Amino acid sequence: MIRRLGLAALASLVFAQVASAQTNLNVFVSPQQQPQLMRKAFDAYEAAHPGVKITIQSGGTTSELQAAYLNTVMSAKDSNLDIFLLDIVRPAQFAAANWTVPLNDQVGDAAALMKTYLPAYADADQVDGKLVALPAFADAMFLYYRKDLLEKYNVAVPKTWAEAAAAAKKIQEGEHNPDLQGVNFQGAPIEGTVCTFLLPYWSQGKNLVKDGALTWDKPAALKSFAVWKGMVDSGAAPRNSAEIITEQTRKDFQAGKSVFAVLWSYGWAQFQGPDSAVKDKVGVAVLPSVDGGQPVSCIGGWQWGVSAYSTHKKESIDLIRYMSSMDVSRQLAVEGSLMPVFPSLYQDPAVLKATPWFANALPVVTAAKSRPVTARYNEVSDIIRTSTNAVLAGSVGAEEAASQMEARLRRVLR
Amino acid sequence: MARSWRDPSEQALARVLLAPAFALLALIVVYPVGRLLLTSLYDDSLTSGHAARFVGLENFQLVWEDPSFWSALINTLLIVLFTVPGAMVAGMLLALVANMPFRRKWPVRLALLIPWALPLAFVGLIAGWFFQSDYGIVNDVLRPFVSQKIIWFNSPTLSFAAMCMAIVWKTSSFVAMILLAGLQTIPADVYEAARVDGASKWQQFWQVTLPLLRPSIVVAAIFRTITALQTFDIPATMTRGGPGDATSTLAMYIHQTTVDFLDIGYGSALAVVMFAISMVVSTIYLRNLRTGN
């Protein structure tokens, strides 16, 4: 009896040892970033690393809500989160607040490693020489169009916004459907509207910020407002564009309510889904430019960072190196149509079999521009989106909005 | 009684008995407010890359010069101006209805409770869908009367009006409950006496109900005013402050400054200003209540 008890005690001691060797990693992945796909990759990692258990924490359906959540957790210096998936506009702020573990010494030659990724991510994830995060998957904005409608009216895929507006009007008139929207884009006071403003602005060859300093070009800003507001006023874009959030664009286009959609790459997989009214009727193209301008896209994408307050930094770094590897990038592309962060994967047979249009996406992603990289990005974003929203709603004139924007941006980006 | 209070042992006992309450109060009121006041004197921004530094009253100087603060403050005061009387009138009507001699009282009372029991953010989202120009029920109902769909959230005035309607809907049931409780304390014989004196229903309401209900009205008005000054959830979910910043409130600006912009010092200064405004308003009301009694 005593011996048996002793054995049981020994067994429980051994068990306790094993249990304490177990590392629990808490990873923040928002519900929009396909946590089920990440879970599959985590399962594979757990199988290969028996001592590691990964738990996904989720919350916040928009980038702003996620940022608000992470800001709260991180300002409280909470050690509960080990790893987080960050929108491309966040690493600079996280670096300034010292919320992430610098990865330079953990990845060997950081510069060489970052060269293997798309250039936009090398820029976004390295702040003042510090490697802050590693790329998870890429994203950019595209012009989705109704192949069937463009063919029916013998309209070419538009190269400029003026062509897009004309095509939209032609198809709307031909269809005799007052509810058919032309160009659906985001104008609500949300993060996506920052890109809305910047697309025609950049297309004129202008930058908003260069080397941390404001390079404001008022005529370019007015032109950008004119492109969007002109489409709203002419009916080529929905009259309620100032209400439209990213998911609304996706839903409207998916329901067959719009001819064109200005949207991120995630729309594609949904438009091909079983409950889509536009399955097999969708084309994807480079976004139009302003007249005489160059086509340009807004880069998005998500990054893995390790919390500075994590109690398992080493294990976390190992995990994010795996999650930012080529194998996982390929897997995410094949299974979730998430754009790869490695240029070579845009020619990968498995990837192209799943999402054929990625074959033409590499030049877009390579040339896509980054929203301003600054620690005070949230303020910059707020200025751009509220002004653009007010112009689209018609509550503030373009001239006044541009002046206010400049004055406010100058205060933030000194 | 008065003499025994002066007895030192009684005094000591009182202190001991009150100590836990004071400790609790210090922990949940004095410490956070004190900490807030202290933080408001620092330049403490997590995105600045430098450590917090003492700047005295500089943050308050910046608040004074900040156009976003003034526009948020004006919006907040307008919300108080429209939704407090709105909720008081609607709440009074609801309370009078609920106080009628129904055979079964609970269905009316339950109906009264529902808006109060719903979370604010939920009400904001629902109201946002109601007023959405394409799918919203409001435009559906208005369809026979207007030629073109009204885009509520394109217009600062209409956005503001829609938001105020949602706030009044949500908050009037709380007012109604306080007033209902007050109505039930008014003895029936007062009305009987009024009737004997030949007072009409209308006169009874103005001469009997309203004066006797005054303490309840003041209490409801205090609570409603303070919550109106703190308006956050409904505009945050319904209009996101738009179009532009036409429906952005002081509480939203504080939240944005601290949580989104991580400017803890400046956000604390804004919060101190809001705290001071709430204090002034409550003091005015309380004084009014006391002199009224």
Q: Report the DSSP pairing between strands A23-28 and A83-87.
A: parallel
CA gyration radius, chain B:
24
Task: Give chain B's domain count.
Answer: 1
ipTM for the assembly:
0.80
**Closest to B45 (Cα-Cα) out of B246, B261, B239:** B261
Q: Quick one: which H or E segment has residue A227?
A: helix A218-234
The Cα–Cα gap between A372 and B279 comes to 41
Question: Residue B112's pLDDT is what?
Answer: 87
Helix (H, G, I), strand (E, B) or coil at A325: coil
Collect all residues of chain A within an 8 Å Cβ-Cβ radius of residue B151.
239-240, 242-243, 393
- Residue with the two structure tokens 């450590």: B51
- The 3 state secondary structure assigned to chain B is CHHHHHCHHHHHHHHHHHHHHHHHHHHHHHHHHHHHHHHCCEECECCCCCCCEECCCHHHHHHHHCHHHHHHHHHHHHHHHHHHHHHHHHHHHHHHHHCCCCCCCHHHHHHHHHHHHCCHHHHHHHHHHHCCCCCCHHHHHHCCCCCCCCCHHHCHHHHHHHHHHHHHHHHHHHHHHHHHHHHHHCCHHHHHHHHHCCCCHHHHHHHHHHHHCHHHHHHHHHHHHHHHHCCCHHHHHHCCCCCCCCCCCHHHHHHHHHHHCCEHHHHHHHHHHHHHHHHHHHHHHHHHHHHHC
Q: Does A57 touch chain B (CB under 8 A)?
A: no
B-interface mutation test, from A74, A232, A243, most B Cβ less than 10 A away: A243
A67 and B CB contact within 8 Å: yes
Whether residues A242 and B256 touch (CB distance < 8 A) is answered with no
Angle of helix A326-336 relative to helix A35-48, nearest 10 degrees, comes to: 140
Distances (CA, A) of A217 to A206, A221, A411, B206: 7, 6, 16, 64
Contacts of B48 in chain A (CB under 8 A): 96, 375
Residues in chain B: 293
Are residues A386 and B241, on separate chains, in Cβ contact within 8 Å? yes
In a domain, B44, yes or no: no
What is the model's pLDDT at position A6?
59
- Closest of B155, B139, B119, B239 to residue A245, by C-alpha: B239
Print pLDDT tens along chain A (414 aa). Answer: 555 655 555 555 555 545 557 899 999 998 888 889 999 999 999 999 999 999 999 888 778 888 889 999 998 999 999 999 999 999 989 998 999 999 998 888 888 999 999 988 988 898 888 999 999 999 999 999 999 999 999 999 999 999 999 999 999 999 998 889 999 999 999 999 999 999 999 999 999 988 778 999 999 999 999 999 999 999 999 999 999 999 899 999 999 999 999 999 988 888 988 889 999 999 999 999 999 999 999 999 999 999 999 999 999 999 999 999 999 999 999 998 899 999 999 999 999 998 888 998 998 898 889 898 888 999 999 999 999 999 999 999 999 999 999 999 998 886
Nearest CA among B260, B272, B256, B225 for reference residue B64? B272
Tell me which chain B residue has its CA closest to the CA of residue A93.
B47
Tens of pLDDT, residue by residue over B124-172, are 999 999 999 888 999 999 988 888 889 999 899 999 999 999 999 999 9
CATH number of the structural domain spanning residue B157: 1.10.3720.10
Alpha carbon B168 to its chain centroid, in Å, reads 11
Among chain A residues, the shortest Cα distance to B262 is held by A71
Residue B41 in any domain: the answer is no
Chain B interface includes A308 (CB < 8 A): no
Q: Is residue B4 part of a domain?
A: no
Q: What is the pLDDT along chain B (293 residues), one digit of tens a residue?
A: 455 556 778 888 888 999 999 999 999 999 999 999 999 999 998 888 788 899 999 999 999 999 899 999 999 999 999 999 999 999 999 999 998 888 888 888 888 889 999 999 999 999 999 999 888 999 999 988 888 889 999 899 999 999 999 999 999 999 999 999 999 999 989 999 998 998 888 999 998 899 999 889 988 998 899 999 999 999 999 999 989 889 999 999 999 999 999 999 999 999 999 999 999 988 887 787 776 54
Coil/strand/helix, residue A189: coil
Taking CB atoms and an 8 Å cutoff, what residues of chain B touch A394?
154-155
Residue B191, judged by CB atoms within 10 A of its CB (0-12, 13-18, 19+), counts as: middle
Q: Residue B256: its chain A contacts at CB < 8 A? A: 382
Judge contact between A118 and A65, C-beta under 8 A.
no
Whether A151 and A159 have beta carbons less than 8 Å apart is answered as no
Identify the pLDDT of residue A151: 96
Cross-chain Cβ contact B133/A243 below 8 Å: yes
Who contacts A19 (Cβ-Cβ below 8 Å, separation ≥6)?
none
Q: Considering only CB atoms, which chain A residues are within 8 Å of B259?
A: 68, 71-72
Count Cβ atoms within 10 A of the Cβ of residue B212 and give its class: 0-12 exposed, 13-18 middle, 19 or more buried.
middle
User: Is residue B35 included in any domain, yes or no?
Assistant: no
Interchain contact, B262 vs A97, CB within 8 Å = yes
Q: How many CB atoms lie within 10 A of CB B29?
A: 10
**Chain A residue with Cα closest to B128:** A243
As given in the structure block, the two tokens for residue B204 are: 């009874």
A32 touches chain B (CB under 8 A): no
pLDDT reported for residue B109:
85
The mean of the pLDDT values for chain B is 90
Amino acid at A10: L
Partner B contacted by A403 (CB < 8 A): no
**Does residue A378 sit at the B interface (CB-CB below 8 Å)?**
yes
pLDDT of residue A270: 87
The pLDDT value given to residue A187: 95
From CA A78, how far away is CA A360, in angstroms rounded? 43
Q: Does residue B220 sit within a domain? A: yes
- Whether B45 maps to a domain, the answer reads no
Which chain A residue shows the shortest CA-CA distance from B156? A395
The CA-CA-CA angle for residues B49, B52, B56, to 5°, reads 135
Chain B CB contacts of A379 under 8 Å are 261
Q: What pLDDT score was predicted for residue A10?
A: 55
Is residue B120 a part of any domain in this protein? yes
Which of B47, B50, B245 is the best residue to mutate to test the A interface, defined by the most A CB atoms within 10 Å of its own CB? B47
Q: How far is B216 from chain A (nearest CA, A)?
A: 39
- Closest residue of B to A377, CA-based? B261
Instruction: State the CB neighbour count (10 A cutoff) for residue B165.
Output: 17
Q: For A52, what's the count of Cα atoms within 13 Å in the CB-facing half-sphere?
A: 21
Query: Which residues of chain A neighbour B129 with C-beta distances below 8 Å?
Result: none
Assigned domain for B169 exists: yes
Give the pLDDT of residue A20.
55
Name chain B contacts of A240, Cβ cutoff 8 Å: 133-134, 149, 151, 153-154
Domains of chain A, CATH where assigned: 2-132+301-367 (3.40.190.10), 140-298+371-412 (3.40.190.10)
Structure token pair of residue A4: 């048996």
Min CA distance, A99 vs chain B (Å)?
10
Return the closest-CA partner of residue A21 out of A44, A47, A53: A53
Q: For residue B209, what are the domain limits? A: 59-292
